[in-house]
Each structure stands twice: as C-alpha cells, then as structure tokens.
Structure 1
Amino acid sequence: MTARAQTSGEAGVLILAATPIGSLDDAPPRLAAELAAADVIAAEDTRRLHRLATAVGVPLRARVVSYFEGNEARRTPELVEALRAGQRVVLVTDAGMPSVSDPGYRLVAATVEAGIKVTAVPGPSAVLTALALSGLPVDRFCFEGFLPRKAGERAQRLRDLADERRTMVFFEAPHRLAASLDAMIAAFGDGRAAAVCRELTKTYEEVRRGPLGELAAWARDGVRGEITVVVGGAPVAAPDAADDAELARRVAAQVETGVSKRDAIAAVAKAAGIPKRVVYAAAVAKPD
C-alpha cells in the first residue's frame, strides 16, 4: 500500500473508543463526550452500548449501527462513506480497545487507505492489566490473542513459541482453559511460571499465579468468566539445565499431542537450547 498522510479537510474522523473491561466506573470522561458528539456509533453489541451510555449518563442521539465479526466486511464501506461525508464515527466493542482481538482492524485499514483521520480514546486493556498483575517480567512482552481451537493447530502454535524469551499474553475462553494449559505444559514444561487472570476489574476478580502444572490442575475443575493467561518467557537454559528424565518427559508430552517423536525431540532441544542428540539419547533411553 502506498504511504498516505492522514488528512482532515471536509472528511470526518474515526474514533476508536476503548470501553471498560469490567467495572463501568472505569469509563473515562472523554468516552462519554465522544458518544455524545458522535454522528454514527458502530457497536459490536448495540444492547451493551445502550447500557454503557446509560451508565455514563449520555443520551444517544447518534445513528447506532451494529458492527461485529459477521457483518464488518459488508458494513465497513458504509462507514467509510459516512466518514467521507464528514461524519464523526465512533467505534466501540464489548470491552477494551477496538481491533485488539475485536472487530475494528478492517475499518481502520479502510479509513487509513481513504486518507481519513483515525484517533482513539484510550482506556482499560485486559492485556496490560493482566500483564501488570501477573508478577511476571513486563519489560518485554508479546500478545498472542486467542489460541486456535483445534488441538493440533493449538499445539503447533505453542511449539512455535517454545523458545520465545518475552512474557506472553493470551486470551482464552473458560471452557477451553484447561486444554490450553495442558497444551502449554506440553510445549513449555509444567514448571514454567504463569498467571491466570479471571474477571479483571469485576466483582469476582481473581489472579492465580504459579507454575503451569499447578494452574492446569486447578483449571480442570472448571473456570468461569473472562480469562487472560500470562506465561513467562523461555529461560536461557544451560546445556545441563534439564536431566534425562525431564527431557524424556517433555518429549513424551509432545508425542501425546500427536507430534512425531522426531519433531518432538527437535522442539524440546530448541526450547532447552541443547543439541538434538542429547534429547534423543534421553528419549530413547526411556521405554515408550
């Protein structure tokens, strides 16, 4: 795409408005002001928008349209035309910043392509809130969003992250949490430090910290609410950091997810920072 400068002229402006991730008391004053000044409000859930507007004391005078995963491709051109016509369009999702694991990226890209101004109302973020509460290193981190739903794809994604040194942040659905933590154990080992953050800023907020093995055991009883998982980055391992029994266990855990023994050995060796021959020797020394 050719580089474009953001211009205003007669065009309108797109405002990405962050909304509270839990307590509506976290809504910033500017959010109320932008909702009141909007010509069009595109909302992931229009019912939630009306509850939010009531909570912040704003009577909605704007045209309200739905904008969610199922209709964003069709609705984006309509919203860009409204912007071209000089209208002020506010985009809100159910919680947090639009386009971060929520609808919005397609509209932002189309608005930027049209040379129309895009700005944001900053606000609560589940990613940063969970990261700060986790107790894990925050100087370098990466956001991985939701893991794939299919077990094989999820295992592959995590194997790709096995040697990631930065702290990792994931979103997860409560009914898939236990399976995802088990897959993380297969990829990272059960001793990797992590935190499960549940219902952030809500009445029943809970942050569980500990090694992945302990968190997975806890999650098997069932967990409810909005979930954010924070996992420590891979340690810089010395060649002898894991004994043969531990290396064999890691290989076996990968094989149990459907990975070939050869690929499992390669993944464990890469994560541990040791030669594949060392992991191979440990794996073959223990009977299957």
Structure 2
Amino acid sequence: MNENEVLAERFEEHRAHLRAVAYRMLGSSAEADDAVQEAWLRLSRSDTGDVENLGGWLTTVVARVSLNMLRSRKTRREDPWDAHLPEPAVGHEDTADPEHQALLADSVGLALLVVLDTLAPAERLAFVLHDMFAVPFDEIAPIVERTPAATRQLASRARRRVQGTPGVPETDVTRQREVVDAFLAASRGGDFDALLALLDPDVVLRTDTTAALSGAGAARGAAAVADTFAGRAKAAQPALINGAAGLVWAPGGRPRVVFGFTITHGKITAIDILADAERLGGLDLEVLGD
C-alpha cells in the first residue's frame, strides 16, 4: 500500500464524522459532500506528517470550508421564499450502513436545521462545533477570527435562539400519520374548520423554486394555509418520506411533488412542498395506501 492509499484510508476513517459536521453546518447533503471532498483535496496537497490529531485537523478544514460556503450563500440570497431549504439527509444508500443510519436520524431534525439556517454563519459554526461536537472554544476561535471569549458569546446567542424555538417536533411515526391522515381527509373534503384545528396558529408553508413556478405559494398562519389546502390534495397519497409521515403526488407511480410535515404537540407547525426532480430523487419514499 503506497503513501497516498494509506492517507486515503485514514481519511475514510473520519468521513462519517466530517459529513455529519458539514451537514449540520450547511443543511444540504450535496453541499456537505462538496465540503468533505474539499477537505480530502486539501489533505492530499498538505504535509500532515507533524499533525498529531488528524481528525481534529480535518474537522477544522471542513468547518472553514463550510463557513465560507455559508457566507457565500448569505451574500447571494435575495428572495426569502426562494431561500435554502434544508435537504433530506439521505437517499437510497444501504440502510444497514452506520453512516446512513446516523444521517437518517438527522432527518428528523429538519425543524432544528430550519432554525440553524436563521443564524449568522459564525454563530452557527460556534454552536454546531461546540454544542454538537464538543470542540473547545479556543479551537473554534481561530476559525471565526475571534477571541475564545467572543466565540463563547457567539455560541451563547445561537443557543438562546435554538432553545427559544417552541416545542419539540413529533418523531413517533404513528402519531405523525394520524395527524397527516386527518389533514389529508380535511383537505380533500374542503373542511376548513378541521384544517384550522390541525394547524398551529403560526404554521408556515414553504415551497422550493420548482413548486413555486408550478403555482404553489408560500403562506404563513393557520387561516392562510388552511385556505391553500381546503378542497385540494385530492390526488395526494400518504407516504413515508425519509421515514417520516407525509404526502406525495405521484401520477403514474412517478413522484412529482412531496409534502413534508413538521408536527409539534399534535399540531402542524410547518409544511414543506418539494418538487425539484433532483431533490426528490434523493428521498427515501414509500407510498402508503389510503
């Protein structure tokens, strides 16, 4: 085994951890893969003979790359409803693979990723590295170009924002299905009052660009979202989307639109409509009977 092969083998030992860091930083599977690939390229071009903690070195590289990607994303974003939606953590990989299982667990954290996406890039990095991966502040500080004390304040502000998010999303699939099935029945029947009863007063409806171009509009508030769905969704079918209850429109058996739900204390707090073909292709979808 030559030197490059040994280096590649050592890198693979850290890949799952690096991807987890990048995914929490970026909320995008594709961008997380890009960040990890960039870390490998930098490793292959660097002299790491004196590096005692390769995992820590690689984590720092992925963090810096992710921070630059976040800053670039912030500067080019214009339309808040065409904003970056956190993407599904996994696709069709072998479900017995440990990395797949770890990332599938992340998929139930969609609500958290939405909150993280509201943080400033440096705040998000400080929070993710310290609170999620126990990286000391004196190691994070050089990445965000602040003192350890200032870095601690960044993480503290982010923590208050995250902890201020009301409720914990429902993760029990049986209870998820009860709510989603009731929503589908009320939508098909045009029962506005039943829809209102299922929706949190501050519910948000988000769409990706493809869905928006097809006429699906973003909305906020129970009345507006109920009005959007009343008498509609007649062709939608219950489905499991990355293991969570949702709906899918799949004419001819081909998924064209999926509806993801965030449910907290029995109420729907967010609905995400995704229609981008590439994004749909990365989902684990199981259509269920009505």
TM-score (structure 2 length as normaliser): 0.29
Greater helix percent: which structure?
2
